[in-house]
A = this chain, B = another copy of it.
Amino acid sequence: MNYSLEAGGKRIRPALVLTAAHAINGSADAWKSAMRIACAVEYIHTYSLIHDDLPAMDNDDYRRGKLTNHKVFGEAMAILAGDALLTHAFRLIPQAVREDGVPLDAGLAIVEDLATYAGAAGMVGGQAADMQGEQGITTIEQLEYIHLHKTSDLIVFSVKAGARIGGASVKQLELLSLYARNIGLAFQIQDDILDVIGDEKKLGKRTNSDVAQQKVTYPFLVGMEESIAMVSRLTQEAKDAVTEAGLASPEQLLRIADYLVQRDH
């Protein structure tokens, strides 16, 4: 469990939990009561990577420059480490209520959101569709379904959870969900774009690997020009939603939207 948690990564999801709590609440230490929930979402993300890397799934030997979990500990332990990380994420939520001042009703709403966005109708559903659809994806709708669930859902959870802890209104939760959905999708399309036009040194991996693996991507389906336009449209809509939400401190959320699409690795 620790090996994979400590393997690094961008930590986008926990950063979004903390940032959303701060954006709603405005006070400098609003992130403190959101820290345990930020960890919970990283636990979920980490479990999903461990299971995705298994031989029966994507069969990857390396992740973030380190051997994947099952290459070090064996398949049985990797499956169990994933199961335990997934389970432990839910343990952190009642602890956040007891220890960090997260309100009881927000805690239970966060449990339900996490189970919804991470489960069969969310992230796991997206992964299952991806597994079943390999080679068979022919429409932009199918590809969008996979990315909305496989990637965006956990990002939506992160932003909503932080917003709930910060005390968001129903309207603010809706607008921030739209923000999160859009940056999640833009993030994924940008990944596809970088695989074609990125700098191998900055990416730390070979470009054109999607083409080599015959993966269906946005540039493949709609062309490079339209893919770049989509990223910019989705990002603008995301930022508009944040502005409309009338938050106490919207700056960091706006900056993250720009960072995700302006990154070159």
Rounded to whole angstroms, the CA-CA distance of A208 and B86 in the bound complex is 36
A124 part of interface (Cβ distance < 8 Å): yes
Distance in Å from the Cβ of A205 to the closest Cβ of chain B?
23
Rounded to whole angstroms, the CA-CA distance of A94 and B93 in the bound complex is 12
A47 cross-chain contacts in B, Cβ below 8 A: 83
Q: Is the CB of B1 within 8 A of A120?
A: yes
In the complex, per-residue mask of A216-244: 1 if CB is within 8 Å of any chain B CB, else 0: 00000000000000000000000000000
- Partner-contacting stretch, out of A14-22, A28-36, A108-116: A108-116
On A, residues with C-beta under 8 Å from B are 1, 47, 51, 54, 56-57, 74-77, 79-80, 82-84, 86-91, 93-95, 97, 104-105, 107-109, 111-112, 114-116, 118-120, 124-125, 127-128, 131-132
Most B Cβ at <10 Å: residue of A87, A91, A97, A127: A87
The 8 Å CB contact of A120, one of B54, B84, B108, is: B84
Rounded to whole angstroms, the CA-CA distance of A153 and B75 in the bound complex is 24
Q: Is the CB of B76 within 8 A of A91?
A: no
The 8 closest A-B pairs by CB, nearest first: A91-B115, A56-B75, A87-B119, A94-B112, A84-B120, A90-B115, A84-B124, A56-B76
Q: Is the CB of A90 within 8 A of B90?
A: yes
11 A–B pairs (Cβ distance < 8 Å), ordered by A: A51-B79, A56-B74, A57-B76, A80-B124, A80-B131, A87-B118, A89-B115, A90-B114, A90-B115, A93-B108, A108-B111
